[in-house]
Amino acid sequence: MTVEHHHSTQNISGPALDEHSFQRIVKFAYETAGLSISSSKTAMVRTRLARRLRDLNFNSFCDYCDYFLSPGGTHERSELISALTTNVSHFFREQHHFDILSREVIPSLMQSDCSQKPIRFWSAGCSNGQEPLSLAITLRESGLASWAQDLKILATDIDPRVIRFAQASEYSERMMEGVPHYLAEKYFSQVSQNMNHDLVWKSKSTILDLISYRRLNLLERWPMKGKFDVIFCRNVVIYFDQKTQDILWEKFANALRPGGWLFLGHSERISDSYQNKFSTFGTTAYRLQNEMYPSKRQN
């Protein structure tokens, strides 16, 4: 989940976005989802919400704001956040993270005495489902999914639309880019064709059954009671301000088991005040420290 950066003013139709309405939207987006939207994104906000105004037959952003902030605007508040975010996802995105997973994380789990203990992965900001499916394929291919008796992947996103898409788990040929053909044949079935006559691939139960999809706003209370061995939260926190990021670093640290792993997006870094809690492994891969894993840095 990311905030869309495009803010061209060309070909924008519909009512103008006045400053007061813009500030109401910005305030709501920040307080509700932690989205930090600068004044330079006015045209982007107008473009992204223009369809919402058309669909609801509003002639002004003022009226639209009155509506989504009213008691009857509960559903629209979710639609607004969805419209302001874009879901960019690929299978095996940032391959070096999956290399670390295969080279460091999975062997350490399989060397420990935890085959009968719960092993938990979390894809936080799972978008259309390619990330948790990439995790599931990696866990199957490594043998961890067969070795562990209780292995699950939690996949969450703030956008209910992408959760529904991920649960359906059907992907066009274009969306399957990044999946080697032999893995596509092994873990997906060709079930239908879309209007453009592209192949549509549906995930098989061998990987889909490992994943539980849930809608979750990272800024709200997390209902999960157990701790995680691995958390992927990539290309999400970069769009939060520093205060919100620091809240999340603390929550992620508390959600990980000692020695657990946190993977971030390529432009994201844990803030200096939380560096003492984690050791770094390569690029944007972190391991929660404890007495067994003293502080160290790897380049």
DSSP state of 252: H
| 217 assigned ligand-binding residue | yes
| 218 assigned ligand-binding residue | yes
Neighbour-count burial of 45, counting CB atoms closer than 10 A to its CB (0-12 exposed, 13-18 middle, 19+ buried):
buried
- Of 46, 157, 159, 287, which one is the catalytic site residue? 157
Q: Please answer whether residues 83 and 158 qualify as being in contact, where contact means their C-beta atoms are separated by less than 8 angstroms.
A: no
| 120 assigned ligand-binding residue | no
Please indicate whether residue 157 is annotated as part of the active site.
yes
Q: Please answer whether residues 127 and 165 qualify as being in contact, where contact means their C-beta atoms are separated by less than 8 angstroms.
A: no
Q: H or E segment at 130?
A: helix 130-142
Q: Please answer whether residues 158 and 217 qualify as being in contact, where contact means their C-beta atoms are separated by less than 8 angstroms.
A: yes
Q: H or E segment at 200?
A: strand 199-203
- Of 24, 46, 48, 52, which one is the catalytic site residue? 48
| 99 assigned ligand-binding residue | no
| 53 assigned ligand-binding residue | no
Single-letter amino acid, residue 13: S
* Four-CA torsion 291, 253, 88, 2, nearest 10 degrees: -150
Whose structure tokens read 């990044």?
A: 178
What crossing angle do the helices spanning 74-84 and 42-56 adopt, rounded to 10°?
140
| 273 assigned ligand-binding residue | no
Neighbour-count burial of 30, counting CB atoms closer than 10 A to its CB (0-12 exposed, 13-18 middle, 19+ buried):
middle
DSSP state of 293: B
Q: Please answer whether residues 47 and 6 qualify as being in contact, where contact means their C-beta atoms are separated by less than 8 angstroms.
A: yes
Whole-number Å distance between alpha carbons of 83 and 101? 33
| 87 assigned ligand-binding residue | yes
Query: Annotated binding site for S-adenosyl-L-methionine, which residues?
Result: 87, 89, 93, 131, 157, 217-218, 234-235
Q: Residues annotated as binding site?
A: 87, 89, 93, 131, 157, 217-218, 234-235
Enzyme catalytic residues? 48, 157
